[in-house]
Amino acid sequence: MPDDSDHDWKSLKFQAALSTMVKNASDRLTDDGSNYADWEYRVKRLIETVTGRDNYLDDETMYTRDPQGDRIVFSIIDLLVPTDMGHQLSRSARSAMATICSMFFFPSRSAHITTWKEALDIKLMDGMDIGTYLRQVEAKVLDLDHAGFAWSKDGVLGALYQLGLGSGYANVVVRQNGLRT
Write the pLDDT tens digit of every residue in 77-123: 999 999 999 998 887 899 999 888 877 765 566 677 788 888 888 88
What is the DSSP annotation of 37-74? HHHHHHHHHHHHHHH--TTGGG-TTHHHH-HHHHHHHH
pTM for this predicted structure: 0.57
pLDDT reading at 178 higher than 90 = no
Rounded-to-integer distance, Cα 55 and Cα 156, Å: 27
- What residues contact residue 7 under an 8 Å CB cut-off, 6+ apart? none
The pLDDT assigned to 117 comes to: 86
